[in-house]
Structure 1
Amino acid sequence: MTETADPSDATGAGRVTHCGPALVSPRGVEAQTCVVADGAATWARTYYRNTRGEELRAILSLMGPAGRTVRTHCVVPAVDEPGTCETPREEGRGGAEGYTAVAEFAAGGDPDGPLLLRSGSVRAPSRAG
């Protein structure tokens, strides 16, 4: 697990990320998915690279306390450059330790196409222990 001040945040004050491992699929997708918390706001972010040569679709889900889920659909361009996808920020309910995130990548034009990669965060350690 990675728990760090988020380097993409210009202020850096109080922002924490909890990330799962960086994964590489033999099908041309690389991703790492995180839960990000900054003050009272919490959201999911996935960092990706698409080397497949075709546009992909990603579904990024943030799962929180009491079964609450926020889901975002992202287009992943057919360029071999790093990119990101984020869910909307929501008012946190109990801190980042109550949240997990999952990103699923599939071919862009076929809703029944195979899953190319599933990337997830890890649950943050609770403050109690």
Structure 2
Amino acid sequence: MSALLAVVLLAVLLPLAGAAAGPAGSFDEDVLAKDVPARDMPAKDVPARGVPAKNGDVRAKADTPVEALGDGTDGTAGKPAKQARTSGLLSGLGLTTAAQCGPELASPEGVEAQTCVLSQGRDTWARTYYRNGTGEELSAVLTLMGPDGRTVQMHCAVDEGDEPGACETPRERTAGEPEAYSAVAEFAAPADADGSEGQDQGEGRPMLLRSGSNAAPATGS
């Protein structure tokens, strides 16, 4: 587990989040980032599935202005309001918002994602940034895991297209240190016509990508 986690205060992180983000306060602030070794975060036994995206550098660039982006609070994909000045899944994370992010991953089927735990003031929540190039709508399940064993889960519809999107959990009052939280997002293909469900988010709905906030990239899908 040697992956680095980017701890961010408003700015740019990776080439996917450039045009996708839910509400984390204002998206017009500058981000200050610090790399944190993955070993300092609880592993939660959730491996990443996928391979690093081509531009998956998890180091943030400080003092880079970004544009306001979309909203994902209703559990659906956040629609980008306008193109950010910088590329990447993580663009801006709001006023004094700290982010602990795993690596940007990509699946052979064309899904790219990066998942973060965000904290602002007394609140902590999870957000995953994605781009769905599979040619069909997918489903995603985003889970925030707290230090007290509490979990918060959000189901999101992931529209197909080249534009990045975002899905996030509701905010909750931080219990302990934000660094004790972790998050994982699982992306699956659509269900069969009969709507049957089984393992991996449903029979006929194979897991395409698993993206964690503190998981090292793994080969395979």
Q: Distance in 1 between matches of 2:98 and 2:148?
A: 22
Higher strand content, 1 or 2 = 1
Aligned length: 123
Runs of 4+ residues over 4 Å off in structure 1: none
Q: Distance in 2 between matches of 1:34 and 1:87?
A: 11
State the secondary structure of the residue aligned to 1:97. helix
- The corresponding residue for 2:9 is 5
TM-score, reference length from structure 2: 0.53
Q: Higher Cα Rg: structure 1 or 2? A: 2
TM-score, reference length from structure 1: 0.89
On the 8 A contact 2:111/2:134 being kept in 1, the answer is yes
What runs of 5+ residues in structure 2 fail to find an aligned partner? 12-20, 30-93, 193-201, 216-221
Q: Distance in 2 between matches of 1:60 and 1:82?
A: 16
Please tell me the residue identity of whatever aligns with 1:37. Answer: S
What runs of 5+ residues in structure 1 fail to find an aligned partner? 124-129
Q: What's the CA shift for 1:88?
A: 0.4
- The corresponding residue for 2:161 is 79
Q: Distance in 1 between matches of 2:169 and 2:10?
A: 16
On the 8 A contact 1:61/1:87 being kept in 2, the answer is yes
CA RMSD of aligned residues (A): 1.5
Q: What's the CA shift for 1:120?
A: 0.2
Once the two structures are aligned, what percentage of the paired residues are identical? Answer: 57
Q: Distance in 2 between matches of 1:23 and 1:78?
A: 17
Q: Indicate whether 1:98 and 2:180 are aligned.
A: yes
**Per-residue Cα deviation, 1:19-58 (whole angstroms, up to 9, x for no partner):** 0000011111000000000011000000000000000000
Q: 2:108 aligns with which of 26, 50, 54?
A: 26
- The corresponding residue for 2:207 is 115
**Per-residue Cα deviation, 1:68-106 (whole angstroms, up to 9, x for no partner):** 000000000012210000000001001211100000000
Q: Distance in 2 between matches of 1:69 and 1:16?
A: 20
